[in-house]
Amino acid sequence: MSVSSVGGTYGLSGSGMDIDALVTKLMAGQQAKSDALLQKKTVAQWQKTAYNTVYDDISKFRDTLFNYKLQGTLSPNKVTSSNTSVATVTANAEAAAVNHSLVVAQLASGVNLTSTASISSTIPPTMGTLATQLGMSTTDPFIINIKNGSAVSQPISIDPLTDTINDVVSKFNKAGVNVKASYDGILDRFFLTTTNTGTSSEINFDGSDQNGLNFLGGELKLSGGTTETSAGSGIYSSTPVKGLNAEFKLDGVSLSQASNTFTISGVTYSLTGVTPDATGVDIAAKLASGTAISVSVINDTDAAVASIQSLVDSYNKILAELNNKVNETRYKDYLPLTDAQKSAMKESDITAWEAKAKSGLLHNDRTLASLVNSMRNSFSSPVSGINATYDPSTGKSIAYNSAASIGITTGNYSENGKLYLDTNKLRKALSADPDVLYKLFGASGEKTDGTIDTSSQGIAGRLYDSIKTTMDQLNQIAGTTSNTQYDTQSNYAKKIEDYTAMIYNAADRFDIMQAAYYKQFNAMEVALQQLNSQSSWLSSVGSTS
């Protein structure tokens, strides 16, 4: 009797042998090799993920460092207005810590043209074509040219027999000359407004058809321009209507701006109203009669201290993470568990085992250790080129050219470079030199040939550049989280791919060897069965003779 199956043969000859158990034992060595490859691949995947996590975290920290290269972060100002109904103010780092006086005689404005009364021929309005709604007697098509300042004049074609008031609104808005049209159905009035302000803004209908001008002054009843009132014709003039500039006096100097919001010497002014007692027949008289409000700019020491404290906290957090990765214990005897091993363990035991298996994946990693050293050196090394500052409280000149000089120091050796900030010492340094942080953290260190001299480069720049170097190295080592799906070029991507190929090859060898063992045992079973059959026949022949 032949046996076609290569597995699950249990003593067909009467041998009583458990063939599956025998084959499993014979394949144990090959299974161990396959499991070892899978475990190595798993460790490589864990390490790749660990590198990716570090990359993401130091990248986020580096993003925050960019702000510490900017004067706005390092030399913040606080600015206040004594009368916010006249002006509200903000200031950037370029603003000098001084008081300014401000008188506002006129706000900047654009051009506003408004219907003086309802424009429809019936109340409530009968919506429809212009001829129907406005009761127009002249229904021939006409052209209205509209221009705003230096913009090119745009022709608007209107047909009273087919266009509605909403069509007119749409055509004005699509003219592209920074003029906004609208129609209020409840008020039954038409509005035209420039979106820009100042004397450069205007609404100019020069070149329009006479019927177009008649339509503007008659049917639309626009005010704000010049109308020919003789004989009550209501014909609208093509004379341009211009906006107004903001007129004000800043620190005793009369100035003019096209917008109500503008920046002068680092202070941004948003004019909100005219100075209450600024009166007179003209701008000069108003400026002369108005009582100036005060705009005060001071160095915001509290904001500067809070900013540096935030940097120190962020630095300590990322440094602790890197130190933990480098110093974390590696348990080499705790390999990733196979499915067979997991099936024989409790869930809590699996969790505890894997915690140790994943411990120390980046233990003593040279790339991370190098970054830790460069980060610590960025803070510990002085910044050259910073001159000493006279301190009136001590009568001595002090060179605030290092982190330690402004109160940023490390703890004891066991804390692996953790920073501490003495805020009192920092405040004292800021009092002596309000720009001390910008000099110490924001200095570019750039030489005339475009290269960077790290000895004169600020602390933030040193950190920013050293982290970028490490990020490039980590990208080469393990790629990034964002590109992990497509990563085929990093060292770990190639390593994992090699393990995958070896696992496939091992699986093929495993199947071939296992099939060969089953084939041999099946052949043995067939032979034993034949032998038993022959023995039984001989026994039967002997008994009959």
Mean pLDDT, the chain, whole residue set: 89
Residue that terminates a domain, selected from 424, 457, 490 = 457
Asked if residue 438 and residue 319 are part of one domain, the reply reads yes
Asked if residue 418 and residue 507 are part of one domain, the reply reads no
pLDDT tens digits for range 6-51 = 445 455 445 567 777 887 788 677 887 888 889 899 999 999 999 9
pLDDT tens digits for range 265-284 = 999 999 999 999 999 999 99
Residue that terminates a domain, selected from 427, 457, 487 = 457
Asked if residue 392 and residue 334 are part of one domain, the reply reads no
DSSP-assigned letters across all residues of 310-362: HHHHHHHHHHHHHHHHHHSPP-TT-PPPPHHHHHTS-HHHHHHHHHHHTTTTT
Residue that terminates a domain, selected from 193, 219, 242 = 242
Distance CA 32, CA 38 (A): 10
Task: Determine the residue type at 403.
Answer: A
Q: How many domains does the chain have?
A: 5
Asked if residue 101 and residue 61 are part of one domain, the reply reads no
Angle at 418 between CA 417 and CA 419, to 5 degrees: 110
Structural domain that includes position 349: 329-362
pLDDT given for residue 517 in this prediction: 81
Asked if residue 317 and residue 453 are part of one domain, the reply reads yes
Phi, psi (degrees; rounded to nearest 5) at 274: -85, 140
- Prediction pTM value: 0.71
Could you tell me if residue 291 is inside a domain?
A: yes
- Residues in Cβ contact with 19 at an 8 Å cutoff, skipping those fewer than 6 apart: 7, 8, 9, 10, 11, 518, 521, 522, 525
DSSP symbol at 401: -
Asked if residue 179 and residue 129 are part of one domain, the reply reads yes
Among the residue ranges 78-87, 117-126, 270-279, 529-538, the one predicted with the least confidence is 529-538
Asked if residue 205 and residue 122 are part of one domain, the reply reads yes
Could you tell me if residue 466 is inside a domain?
A: no
Q: What sign results for the dihedral spanned by CA atoms 118, 124, 128, 133? A: negative
The pLDDT-based confidence of 63 (bands split at 50, 70, 90) is: very high
Structure tokens at 98: 């001084």
Asked whether the predicted pLDDT for residue 230 surpasses 50, the reply is: no
Asked if residue 225 and residue 92 are part of one domain, the reply reads no
The pLDDT-based confidence of 419 (bands split at 50, 70, 90) is: very high
Asked if residue 119 and residue 184 are part of one domain, the reply reads yes
Asked if residue 305 and residue 290 are part of one domain, the reply reads no
Helix (H, G, I), strand (E, B) or coil at 377: helix
pLDDT tens digits for range 198-210 = 999 999 998 898 8
Of 233, 286, 268, 226, residue with least CA distance to 103: 286
